[in-house]
Amino acid sequence: MAMSIEPVVSDIIAAIGEPDFAAVTAGTLCALAEFDLAAVVVHRPRSRSRILHENFGAIGHRAGLDTYARKTCRFNPMLRGASSGAMRARDYRGRFADIPETMRPHLIETPHEELGFRTVGWPERQEEIGVYFPGWGGTIEIGLYRERSRRPAHARLLRALGELAGPVGTAFERHRILAPAPRPAASGWPARTGVLSTREDEICRLLLAGCSSDAIALRLSLSRHTVKDHRKNIFRKLGISALAELFALAR
């Protein structure tokens, strides 16, 4: 059964020119894939990689992503072989022995990770899909992550994300023209005193950071059922019916 990508493209196009464009794009792809974490990084040949958006900070792993952008990204076999499309990390398992000794203090060799190693500070046992496309003078990487399970993402999801690489790349270029000096997007939520409870506001912030219900439940020590009930109440109080509308409302 094919996955429809038209609504995803529409939501991303609607965010072009907005300060939180990268966050909306990452959140939309996370929702499509049912993944928990996302990072948008621009890799350029002769300069340090730049993080445009991430929600690793929500689980206390921002330092690992910073190390990846500053140092270890050059040893990501997915990035080295990327042109345009979607890739699964488990298809690109690397050899830790091929990594220079000077870089090994920043990496941990482990058979439990899809690549065979992970960056120091990176969350453990993550399933990873990377969406890559040329742009902004280099390669743009949208990494999607969730805790590994016995049933990895289906091949049809990989195909759908691969089909999205072209339109998303075009949207990034259009956004660059409309917003020539973009800054890293920060997920936020406008104050709505008297509408949302403190807990609902907290969950809203995590939804806008791209977290799934499972990730929010883990972060806040709640059951998944409780998070879903809060989410229904949030949507009802705000008069919306979809996550994309929540992103639009936050903007």
Largest CA distance in the chain: 57
CATH number, domain 6-178: 3.30.450.40
Distance CA(9)–CA(167), nearest Å, equals 7
Give the CATH number of domain 198-250; options: 3.40.50.300, 1.20.140.10, 3.40.640.10, 1.10.10.10. 1.10.10.10
The amino acid at 143 = G
Residue 231, strand partner residues: none
Helices 198-208 and 224-238 pack at an angle, to 10 degrees, of 90
Residue 141, strand partner residues: 41, 132
Percent of the chain with pLDDT over 90: 47
Q: pLDDT for 173-188, tens place per residue? A: 999 888 754 344 444 4
Report pLDDT for 133. Answer: 95
Distance CA(218)–CA(241), nearest Å, equals 24
Distance CA(15)–CA(24), nearest Å, equals 7
* DSSP E strand stretches across the chain: 37-44, 47-54, 85-88, 107-109, 117-119, 126-135, 138-147
Q: pLDDT for 68-117, tens place per residue? A: 999 999 899 998 876 789 999 999 988 888 889 999 999 999 988 999 99
- Contact at 8 Å (CB) between 26 and 37? no
Domain borders along the chain are: 6-178, 198-250
Whether 217 shows a pLDDT value over 80: the answer reads: yes
pLDDT band of residue 240 (cuts 50, 70, 90) is: confident
Report pLDDT for 2. Answer: 55
